[in-house]
A and B are shown apart, each in its own frame.
Chain A
Amino acid sequence: MDDKTQPRQLNRSDLDLAYRRYAGIVLRRARRILGDEQLAHDICQDVFVQLLRSGAGWAKHSAIAWLHGTTTNCCLNLIRGNRRWHDFMRRLPPPEPVTPSLSAQLVLRGIPERLQEIAIYYGLDEMSQEEIALVLGLSQKTVSNRLRELRSWFAGVDQKTARNT
């Protein structure tokens, strides 16, 4: 098999090394999105399971981008999962009266699924379009289009709210 299509499997020492180096980042990010310590630890485990399964090419472009994207995905999957949804909602901290950026809860309430990731990166993480493109493995143009779509979605919600009040 060609090396390019079949990355080397990671061994136990690779896992320990990666965990020692990056677990703090993953945990911090998961904690930030979920607002729950125990769930963040669960996500941290899931992320490193995925890392092992991805093989040696996991950090090919950027280790931080891969970890950022995978952690966000794992958190979103957890939130979307019906089984733990109610449990998660119960554990969420109450929204801050003033928040400088969108909280994950607000981001996820009602935003179409395909825009949720980008809403987190843009609204919660305040990442640039270039950075979002790197994490998602998309072109900057696609990111720009999705952000435009997201803004339209917010504008639609605002109009609806204004009509109702």
Chain B
Amino acid sequence: MTKPSLCPSEFALERLRFGELAASAEETQILTHVADCKACRARQAELTTQVQPPLATDTIWAKATAQEPARRTSRWRSLVWPSAALTTAALSAFLVVSRSHEPDIVTKGAWQLGVIAKGRDGHITHLVPGAALSPGDRLRFEVTTGWAKASVALVMLDSTGKVSRLAPAGDRALSIAGGKRVLLDEAVQLDSTLGPERIVLVGCSGTIEVSDVVASAKRALAAADGDPRRVSSLGTGCHEESFWISKVKP
């Protein structure tokens, strides 16, 4: 007896949602099961739509550092949680935010793909995997690598079997330095296709052509019968991180 139930545990579903099982056999197994299991799809939807508590880290920071809560909010925090009155300012911050984040040192070898969305109402949020978005929403991306430097490219696989190039705009993959978060210049607007979509970050130690990444993604998607949920790897031979979103009607 290794498992009380055939359905994946909530733990497994959360790992899947946060991309911890990306390109693994377990991911494929769970996705295959979930596709045929109504109860698991309902559990997955419940996890995706769970209400995030409001950002309340002053007390936590004060407890951990045994200091008074800091009064000044960071630039990052004000970017992500703008008040309604600051929508215009935040909107421009979304479009022109510079790469001047604090340089964060990250664990060697670690990769992170962050996705930031600006809704049609102007609200900007840092997405969690599986987030529900609507056509017209705009996305930006931030990438972190523990490698000294890497070439990166981002593509999106949608449920109609289409592969879209997200970043960079040029032919050659973007070269980024390791050890800090890098906000990519590109912003994309979601089209009207509904359903699950998979954003894949490809990171290589050498140079890569974006067209090669797109071609690999198309082959992988075709091999999965056009279902982005069944693609376990693009087969680029490079590091891959994936992030799920679900596009729904507004």
State the A residues within 8 Å of B (CB).
Answer: 3, 7-8, 11-17, 19-21, 23-25, 27-28, 41, 44-45, 48-49, 52-53, 56-57, 59-60, 62-65, 68, 101, 122-123, 125-131, 135
Contact = CB atoms under 8 A, between A and B. Distances in A.
B236 to A, nearest CB: 24
Given A12-B70, A16-B77, A52 B3 contact: no
From DSSP, what is the main secondary structure of chain A's interface residues?
helix
B106 A53 contact: no
B5 interface: yes
Contacts of A13: 74, 76-77, 101-102, 104
Contact of B9 (A17, A41, A63, A127): A127
A130 B24 CA distance: 15
B107 A60 contact: yes
Contact of A131 (B11, B63, B102, B107): B11
B182 to A, nearest CB: 15
A23 B52 contact: yes
Given A63-B20, A131-B12, A56 B105 contact: yes
Contacts of B61: 12, 15, 52
A49 B18 CA distance: 22
From DSSP, what is the main secondary structure of chain B's interface residues?
loop
B194 interface: no
A45 B60 contact: yes
A8 B179 CA distance: 12
Contacts, number: 108
Contacts of B7: 126
Given A16-B77, A48-B60, A52-B60, A128 B52 contact: no
B50 A126 contact: no
B52 A64 contact: no
Q: Which of A3, A64, A122, A135 has the most CB of B within 10 A?
A: A64
Contact of B18 (A15, A41, A63): A63
A24 B57 contact: no
A13 B77 CA distance: 7
